[in-house]
Amino acid sequence: MFRKLLVANRGEIAARLFATCRELGVASVAVYSDPDAGMPWTLQADEAYPLPGQAAADTYLNTRAILEIALQCGAEAVHPGYGFLSENASFAAACRDAGLIFVGPSPAAIQKMGSKATSRAIALKAGVPVIPGSDGRDDQGRARSPAEMRAAAEAIGYPVLIKAAQGGGGKGMRIVWEPNALADAWQAAGRESLSAFGDDHLLLEKYFTAVRHVEVQVLGDGRGHLVHLFERECSIQRRHQKIVEESPAPGANLNLRARMVEAALALARAVDYESAGTVEFVLDEDGAFYLLEMNTRLQVEHPVTELITGIDLAAWQIRIAAGEPLAIAQEDLQPRGHALECRVYAEDPAAGFLPATGRLALYRRPTGPGVRVDDGIDTGTVITPFYDPLLAKVVTWGEDREAARRRMLGALRETTVLGVTTNIPYLLAILEHPAFIAGDTPTHFLERHLADWRPDGAADDDVWLAIAALESTRTATRPSGRSGVGVATPPDPWSQIGPWRNVGGDDSPSPGG
């Protein structure tokens, strides 16, 4: 096992990885930008080093600076978390060239799956169903003519989806409903893709108006041993980004699940996959599924899989990177109960999900059996405009979906965030909607049911700030263990989260309360 590991990321995922390092007895190293100096998550690492600057390009995307810190502090491995450099094949290769272990798949696997065009070709060869579509470039890499793309769109049938071959997060993506809009949308998507990913390679696919987004978690050790950890449903999305995730998927029956997990494993085998990865599918109304993409990293929503399986995915990523074989047999994996995750963002859903900034006058986490919170914030934290506005992930477990839903309602109502606008009221409206309760959650759920949503109203801001001031004087702080700095100590992310089973090693998390 490594002696020291650097986490090349920030926020809640950095804090979550530091917790796993403590479980494994590995010293952890944080890196932080100027706006993140003193953030609670930086104080949870054993060491922390600055990345001067504010913009992501100067800090969390600065390969040279990160590797220099890793080498100077004596780290043996680098974990990229998710986002930033996590699916950057060049960064993975640079770690290797510097004598560092990249905690994740091989650069070759990242590169193959990072291109939607290449992954599509690999999937077809492996017998994995893909969405009907056309590549915007020919076999020699030359851009196809507008006439060729118009003909392809006609053959596919409108509506069609234009999407960037590289990247994700909705960048370089356009829905085209009729032929006259194709040319302008193609040009706009190409410009956006070039700006976001440095590549204007586009794909054209059939756009389904009523689908579910279902993904399969896989884990491999690069030695031929590969398992799946069942599926998650992540259909409730705003601006093509997930905000509610759950497992098992309400939209998958046993037969469909069996076919989807086999397809996911076939794709992973085709690239000799190592580490944790996710194969994403769209599921249509007729029960047919098609490959969307493969994410070669830990997903934001990985906690729901951990809660129903008892497997610490981050720990196994680190173990595999350290050379351990995957000591988990497929037959030993059985899902238990149901898990839900809600992403709490600093944003205003009633104003087009506009990000919110400011200082947290008061932050209180929910507690109780079956509740897990992954975060990297505390009272007094300043939410800046420089990075993703995700504040926390609230995750609940229950014996069945309804129990997990009720527990999530209680957890969100108990979550207190004062000082910035959050999406908590919006999340509650989703969870309380009859269609969600019935498991009817296609990707257009929000447009269909909550397009005109507005909050019920809020108490006067001065009242809330007065409450926050009173509460902050009553909140005790405890030493963090680093340099004697006093910070409010966050709860152990493995406590109070439901059943755990010791599958695959003596270091698996022990049962929570």
Catalytically active residues are: 297
Q: Residue 449: phi, psi to the nearest 5?
A: -110, -25
Cα dihedral sign, 294-133-235-281: negative
Distance CA 280, CA 295 (A): 8
Distance CA 79, CA 19 (A): 13
Task: Find where tokens 């204007």 sit.
Answer: 200
Cα dihedral sign, 244-295-217-302: negative
**CA nearest neighbour of 443 among 293, 231, 296, 281:** 281
Task: Please state whether 84 falls in left (phi above 0), alpha (psi between -120 and 50) or beta.
Answer: left
Strand pairing category for 4-7 and 27-33: parallel
Task: Please state whether 3 falls in left (phi above 0), alpha (psi between -120 and 50) or beta.
Answer: alpha
CB 361, CB 379: distance < 8 Å? yes
Q: What single-letter DSSP state applies at residue 97?
A: H
CB atoms within 10 A of CB 24: 17
- Please give the helix or strand (H or E) that residue 30 lies within, else none: strand 27-33
Q: What are the helix (H) ranges across 160-301?
A: 182-197, 254-270
Distance CA 60, CA 53 (A): 10
Does residue 501 sit in helix, strand or coil? coil
Reading the block at residue 121, the tokens are: 């070709």
